[in-house]
């Protein structure tokens, strides 16, 4: 099973989703990418480390770096559907409209709260996806 988590910058949400999916389904092929890759956001690394998942070695990748023949599910995580990249891959598509914590302005503590909320929302969605895939294999 190949899963691709997709956002525009591949710096926060998709990286967190990749980290969670890898930790919950280590035998799966899991990737993250974006159409305009940026830099891995340090707060994404920090909040994932808080839950014991190390994404510090991840890097932002372009959608062009991912082999489409290895992808069965594409999950977009952009909060604005117009901003979500649309790959040409033949794959099941899911959309999780999750707010970008990197767009939060305010104090460092307010930003950390936003990153933690996003992390927890992504965790719930990834858990549901992993369980659904396990159920479909067992059926």
Domain of 110, CATH number, reads 3.40.50.2300
Low-confidence ranges of the chain (pLDDT < 70): 79-83, 85-89, 138-139
Establish if 137 belongs to a structural domain: no
16: in domain: yes
What's residue 85's pLDDT?
65
- Within a domain: 32: yes
Domain interval for residue 31: 2-130
| Residue 78 within a domain | yes
pLDDT of residue 86: 65
> Does a structural domain hold residue 41?
yes
Question: Quick check: pTM over 0.85?
Answer: yes
Given this model, what pLDDT does residue 90 score? Answer: 81
Residue 33's DSSP bridge partners are: 6
Residue 6 confidence (pLDDT): 93
pLDDT at 133 (0 to 100)? 85
Question: Is residue 126 one of the residues assigned to a domain?
Answer: yes
Q: Is residue 135 part of a domain?
A: no
Position 136 in a domain? no
Q: What is the DSSP letter of 121?
A: H
Count of domains observed in the chain: 1
3-class DSSP state of 6: strand
- Tell me which residues are annotated as active site: 7, 78, 84
How far from 87 is each of 36, 60, 79, CA to CA, in Å?
Answer: 13, 16, 17
């Amino acid at each position: 099973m190949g899963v691709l988590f997709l956002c525009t910058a591949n710096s926060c949400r998709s990286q967190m989703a990749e980290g969670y999916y890898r930790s919950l389904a280590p035998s799966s092929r899991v990737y993250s990418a974006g159409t305009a890759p940026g830099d891995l956001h340090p707060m994404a690394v920090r909040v994932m480390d808080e839950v014991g998942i190390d994404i510090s070695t991840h890097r932002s990748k372009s959608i062009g770096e991912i082999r489409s023949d290895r992808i069965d599910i594409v999950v977009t995580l952009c909060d604005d559907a117009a901003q979500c990249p649309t790959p040409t891959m033949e794959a099941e598509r899911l959309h999780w409209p999750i707010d970008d914590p990197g767009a939060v302005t305010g104090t460092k503590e307010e930003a950390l709260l936003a990153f933690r909320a996003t992390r927890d929302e992504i965790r719930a969605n990834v858990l549901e996806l992993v369980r659904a895939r396990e159920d479909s294999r067992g059926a």
